[in-house]
Each structure stands twice: as C-alpha cells, then as structure tokens.
Amino acid sequence: MTNNLFVARQAIYSRPEKVIIFTGAGVSAESGIRPFRNSDESLWDEFDVETFSSIDGFLEQPLAVWRWYLQQVSSAKHALPNAAHLAIASVQYPVITQNVDLLHEAAGSKNVLHMHGQGDRAKCTECLWEGELTELDITVVDVPPGCPECGSLARPDIVWFGEPLSEHNMLQAYLLLKDSICVVIGTSGRVEPVAHLPGLANLVISINSCEDDHVVNSLQLTGTASDILPRLFAE
C-alpha cells in the first residue's frame, strides 16, 4: 500500500491536469449514507431492489417508493461531507459520481457530473417537466406527489435499473475519462454502463475498503476513502 500510494502520488503530481475522480456509494459511507452492497448496512440486502429501484416497482407502489426515497433524501440532507469529499474538493479535479447525495457539492467540488441523477430533483412520468424536488407537494403523506405542470405522477429524477443514462452525460464522461488518470473510489463496479467507464483511462487508481472490489488492472489502494484521499492529495 505504501509503495502504491507513493506511485499514485507521483502519477498525479506529474500530470494533475489529467486527473478525474470517479465515485460510488463508498465515498459517502463514512458520512453515514448506507451503501447498496457489500456492507452490514447494505440497502439492497434490506430492501427489494425491484420495488425501490425500477419503474415497474414505482408504478405498482408509488407511495411506498416515494416514502422510502424521501427518507434516503432526508438522511443525505442531514449528512456532512467527510474527509474524502473534502480532500477531493481541495484539489478541484473534475468528479464523475454515481451518488445522488450531493455531498461532493456540499464539500465544495465545483465540477460534478451526476451519472445516476440527483436527490434534489424530480421529473414527470408523463410530460417533459423536470425541476426541483421542492416544487412538489410532498407534505401530503397519503398521495404520491403530482407534476406541477400536468398533475400526473411525479417521480424522483434518478436512474433506476433498466433505464438509459443521459446521452449527454455519457458523452461528457467519455471526454473526461479518455486517456485520463482516473481515481476510482468506493464503487463495487456492479452497475453498467457506468462500471465500464474507468476502462477509458490510461491509469486507474482504485481506492476501496474491500480488496475484492478493486478495478482490475489498476493501482490498488485498500482502505477507507477518508483515510487514503487526504494522504493521496496532500501537498
């Protein structure tokens, strides 16, 4: 690890303009946000992924899904960025994230690309409306919120399983990652198409607390994000 950390620091130091940060749920675990897999607290071990992360599950039980989702949004709102988010913000490398919790922004990162949507946004299941979650009436607890434009069912503006990612975001991610030095942090790499994106980089530095979840063919740093990132980016 010490040697890999040294090599990773050298690589970053020699080409800082090439560095792109790529994060998953593990970067927020130490802020108290539950990851999806591979922990005692894994969300998908406790909640049915088909129900809570698919359009079919949502259309069957919109109220249950909204209630569950708003609890996740509320925990994220009360969470604070941890030392990993802060270390990333201190260097202002562009961030590509799968997380919807907005903790990179809370830490001060300015350039953040959200591949799986954002927890503060919603959209309509029928018309083209999309906007802030706060524009919906979520105070009524026995009816799922309606679209402010057409009154149809509104939904979280996040990507559920089986749904396509924004083409614009995929292109942006491609342009950022091509030939980059990509620092991949806290993702199990189980969800496509995003899991393949770090493969575009020239060099992948993989940070994960679980050795089995590192990106293959990468420079591997095993440990927690909050321990490693401040050391990786220290002056």
Here's the x/- map for ligand OAD, 200-229, by CB under 6 A: it reads as -------xxxx--x----------xx----
Query: If binding is defined by CB under 5 A, does position 149 make contact with Zn ion?
Result: yes
Query: If binding is defined by CB under 6 A, does position 28 make contact with ligand OAD?
Result: no
Distances, alpha carbon 82 to alpha carbons 31, 111, 152, in Å: 6, 18, 38
214 is catalytic: no
- Closer of 141 and 234 to ligand OAD (Cβ): 234
Tell me the site size for Zn ion, rule CB under 5 A: 8
Distance of alpha carbon 235 from alpha carbon 222, whole angstroms: 21
Among 70, 73, 91, 150, binds Zn ion (CB under 5 A): 150
Distance of alpha carbon 197 from alpha carbon 110, whole angstroms: 21
- Closer of 30 and 120 to ligand OAD (Cβ): 30
Among 21, 115, 124, 205, binds Zn ion (CB under 5 A): 124
Report residue 106 CA to chain centroid gap.
14
Tell me the site size for ligand OAD, rule CB under 6 A: 28
Beta bridge partners of 106: none
Binding span for ligand OAD by CB under 6 A among 6-14, 125-133, 156-164, 171-179 = 156-164
Catalytic residue among 85, 116, 196, 214: 116
Please report the DSSP string for 82-134 in residue order. Answer: -HHHHHHHHHT--EEE---S-HHHHHT-S-EEETTEEEEEEEESSSS-EEEGG
Beta bridge partners of 219: 205
Centre a 10 Å sphere on the Cβ of residue 113 and count the other Cβ atoms it contains.
Answer: 18
List of residues contacting ligand OAD (CB under 6 A): 24-26, 29-30, 35-39, 53, 98, 116, 158-160, 186-188, 190-191, 207-210, 213, 224-225
Positions annotated as catalytic residues are 116
